[in-house]
Amino acid sequence: MAVVKLVLTKDFTWRGRVERWSNGYHFQVNSALSRDDFIALGEAIWTGVESRIIAAENVFTNILGYNNPDGVADASINYPGLGQTGLRAGANSYTGAATNLIHPEQCWLIKANVGLTVKGRANYLRKYYHPIRGPLGDSVASHQAGINPVVTKLIDGTLPSAARLCSPRGVVATGIGLDPYMRVHQLKRRGKRPTRA
């Protein structure tokens, strides 16, 4: 078994500026992946998972694939970006999808169980998806029935190369689902302001 890393990048426009965000995934696979394998895996995650739970304002722009998660990318594939033809936009097509476009830093939090910490507490992988069309309140529990079956694809072995979501150390996720509350997650890392002298 091998652990590979895949990063999917998306762009959207907010207040007249292009914002970029990405999700990095580690997967347990049988052996190292080729460029075509990374493309197939990235496409499957975009069409089968991500595009179904995020707003159409998102455009899929890049795949980075790593056979050595700490090394240099073995595959880099670019797709048409904002303002270009042939865009790959989000679909927001899960069962019971919400229609309100909310602030882009409000997001779905998908948690995947990867065992226990050394103190015996549940250990989770956390993936944030935004911007979304979601409810205007804090509770998103009513969307679990529509989103949970979509994200289960990340752990059930049906992705190309029989990839299964795992921790960076290779612990395969055993459960996955939408957290019942709306979350806030900053899109970009912002530098600290200089301190006054």
DSSP per position, the chain = -EEEEEEEEEEEEETTEEEEEEEEEEEEESSPPPHHHHHHHHHHHIIIIIHHHS-TT-EEEEEEEESSTTS--SEEEE---TTSSS--B----STT----B--TTEEEEEEEEEEE-TTS-EEEEEEEE-S-B--SSSB-GGGHHHHHHHHGGGTSS-SGGG-EEE-TT--B--EEEE-SB-EE--SS--PPPPPP-
Q: Is the peptide bond before 131 cis (omega within 30 degrees of 0)?
A: yes
Phi-psi bin for 31: left (phi > 0), alpha (psi -120 to 50), beta? beta
Measured distance CA(23)–CA(58) in Å, rounded: 13
Structure tokens at 37: 């394998």
Measured distance CA(195)–CA(179) in Å, rounded: 37
φ/ψ of 83, rounded to 5, equals 85, 0
Q: What is the pTM of this model?
A: 0.88
Q: Please report, as a single letter, which amino acid is at residue 62.
A: N
For residue 191, the model assigns a pLDDT of 46
pLDDT (tens, 9 = 90+) of the chain, 197 residues, equals 899 999 999 988 888 888 888 999 999 999 999 999 999 999 999 999 999 999 888 899 999 999 998 889 999 999 887 777 777 888 888 888 888 888 888 889 999 999 888 888 989 999 999 888 877 778 888 889 999 999 999 999 999 999 999 999 999 999 999 999 988 888 765 445 555 55
- Letter string b/e over residues 81-92, b meaning 16 or more CB atoms within 10 A of that residue's CB: beeeeebbbbbb
Beta bridge partners of 66: 5
